[in-house]
Amino acid sequence: MNQEKRALLAAGLSFLVFLLWYQFYAKPRIPVGVPPVVSQAAAPTSSAPIAPVAANLPAVPVGPEQLTVISNDFFEAAFSSHGGRIKDFKLKKFKETVTPESPLVNLLGRSDERMADLGCQDCNFPFNNALNYSLVAHTQDEVTFEGETGGVVIRKSYRWAPDKYLLTMNISLHNQTGQMLQGKMTLLSQQRQQTTAGRKGLLSFLQPATNVRDFVYQTGGKVQRFGQKDGSENVLGGTAWGGIEDQYFFTALITRRLASDQSLQLSRVGDLLSLNFVTPVVTIPPQGGHQEEFSLYLGPKDRLYLAQAGVGLEQAVDYGWFGLLAVPILKLLQFFHSVVKNWGVAIILLTVFAKILLNPLTIKSMQQMKEMQRIQPEMQKLKEKYGNDKQRLNVEVMALFKLHKVNPMGGCLPMVLQMPIYIALYKVLYNSIEIYHAPFVGFYRDLSAPDPFFILPLLLGVAMVLQQKLTPQTSVDPVQKQMMMIMPIMFTGFMLFLPLGLVLYIFINTTMSVVQQYMSQRDLRWRDLLHISS
């Protein structure tokens, strides 16, 4: 009966590990065409109903579309006369695939995708969302569009620097009527999901969705994320920036004037994500004017370029609870790459460095586990002798621990202390734009893609089996031993579709652990190995 309970417990724990992994690291695919469900706001919200973002969608603009294309070393952008908006934004340094003929990553590649489309909410004058603008100025670092609607002349200027993914957008309104005009300016951004289909078959549930787009915004000095379910959310006041992210790229709207009565409206319907920034009420006297300035970020989730916005945009890179550890780890990875010029080799060096740094804790853990294994026969005799007297059994077991100077938590505590560093390493490599389409060796041409032939995940499974066999067993229960041997099979399945760079880190870490276990079992030191080899 005890063995059955232990088997059920081990199976339950294994299933729990799988659920936790799937919840935090294998993001579910987004269903398409599901009706929206209104959710509560993450920030203080009004009791008033949320205005649907879809109401701001422009009609078909009148007049032929004129495109103005600008280009520098970082991006190529096409501005449309329809709305005076950015129609395409291609990143010069990033391609969709690793093939030479692959097109550049276009953050606004679909016809209904848009960035900071100007509209008006609760206006007391007719505002034409389908306004056709005229290009009135075009220099090396700035374009300006002008249009007129409802007696208001609108000028939209975009400025950029040659070494940033950041644009400054200035909007000026001039009231040419004889009456007071007022309303709330709105800036609408829309993007569609680009979730790849992935492989199909029996292992499809192990395949994490890639390129999943989500909302992320900063309000009250804290970064928030909107859940992946269909629905709407209205965030009131203090929103410095809001945007739409995927694993490697980010588009964000940044306001340069915080106000308590501004709002950010988020809506997800099927595969369409809409983000609408609503300013406080703007009042323009007759023959008067009003100006607003915003910044737009369209580029990679690179902390260096994100920080150039000066509003904490780099916090959009999600390291979870381990940001304090993740940032130094990322800088160390970048340092290794500056030396070896290969991101795969840099990952190996980073893993070796972390393993050496944590080696004292690892040795302590192994020694305690080895001692626990050594006294297992005596513990088994105590269980047979005092099995019916739990209190006496506990007293005798503690006396045995004291006699042999064994700490029952000694094998676990050093491992627990190492976990934050290993999880931070995992998060850094999972989110790192540095490994996006980065080559390693041979046919491994993309560290951000899964291993095309599953070689490294299978080698990792073999290494994990060896690690299990070499790890001192602190239990003599055969059922528990069998369940522990199942774990390498489960984790091998998890690794099949994760980025190669991440699997490379786990493989090197596991292989070094096998070497450490082998040396610990035979009481070998590095100098002993050097002596043997000589």
* Digit-coded pLDDT (tens) for 178-232: 999 999 999 999 999 876 544 455 555 556 656 789 999 998 889 999 866 788 8
CA nearest to 296, candidates 265, 245, 255, 338: 255
pLDDT of 21 above 80? no
Residue 130 and residue 132: Cα distance in Å, rounded?
6
Which pLDDT does position 430 carry in this prediction?
A: 85
pTM metric for this prediction: 0.80
Residue 428 has pLDDT above 50, yes or no: yes
pLDDT in the model for residue 341: 96
Taken in order 120, 125, 129, 132, is the CA torsion positive or negative?
Answer: negative
Q: H-type helices in 264-318, by residue range?
A: 303-307
Q: Average pLDDT, whole number, for the chain?
A: 81
Q: Which residue has the higher pLDDT, 136 or 194?
A: 136
- Pick from 32-36, 334-338, 475-479: least confident: 32-36
Is the confidence at residue 416, as pLDDT, over 80?
Answer: no
| Cβ pair 170, 156 in contact under 8 A | yes
Domain boundaries defined on the chain? 31-45+65-318, 326-533
**Higher pLDDT, residue 73 or 488:** 73
Specify the higher pLDDT residue, 445 or 32: 445
Q: Binning pLDDT at 50, 70 and 90, where does residue 411 land?
A: low
**pLDDT above 50: residue 34:** no
The token duo for 66 is 């004129």
The pLDDT value given to residue 534: 52
Residue 282: band (very low, low, confident or very high) from pLDDT cuts 50, 70, 90 = very high
| Lowest mean pLDDT segment, chosen from 117-121, 366-370, 419-423 | 366-370
Give me the pLDDT at residue 281, please.
94
Q: Rounded CA gap, 284 and 515, in Å?
A: 73
Correct CATH for 31-45+65-318 of 3.30.70.330, 2.70.98.90, 1.10.760.10, 3.50.50.60: 2.70.98.90
In this predicted structure, which of 227-231, 302-306, 422-426, 460-464 has the lowest mean pLDDT? 227-231
Compare 516 and 292 and report the one with higher pLDDT: 292
Per-residue pLDDT, averaged over 132-136, amounts to 94
Asked if residue 522 lies in contact with residue 532, where contact means CB atoms within 8 angstroms, the answer is no
Burial class (CB in 10 A: 0-12, 13-18, 19+), 264: buried
Q: What percent of the chain has pLDDT over 70?
A: 79
The average pLDDT across 352-365 equals 83
pLDDT level of residue 5 (50, 70, 90 thresholds): very low
Question: Which pLDDT value is given to residue 133?
Answer: 94
Residue 42: the pLDDT is: 35
The most confident of 53-62, 199-208, 427-436, 516-525, by mean pLDDT? 427-436
Averaged over 395-417, what is the pLDDT?
A: 71
* Confidence class for position 476, pLDDT limits 50, 70, 90: low
Stretch 63-75: mean pLDDT, rounded? 92
Instruction: Dump pLDDT digits (tens) for 490-534.
Output: 888 888 888 999 999 999 999 998 888 888 777 776 665 555 555
Calpha distance 139→150 (Å, rounded): 29
- pLDDT for position 458: 93
Sequence-ordered list of residues with C-beta below 8 angstroms from that of 133, at least 6 positions apart, any chain: 81, 82, 83, 84, 145, 146, 147, 154, 156
For residue 6, is pLDDT > 50?
no
Read off the pLDDT band of 365 (50, 70, 90).
Answer: confident
The pLDDT assigned to 195 comes to 64
Displacement of CA 466 from its chain's centroid (Å): 32
Calpha distance 215→357 (Å, rounded):
37
528/421: higher pLDDT: 421
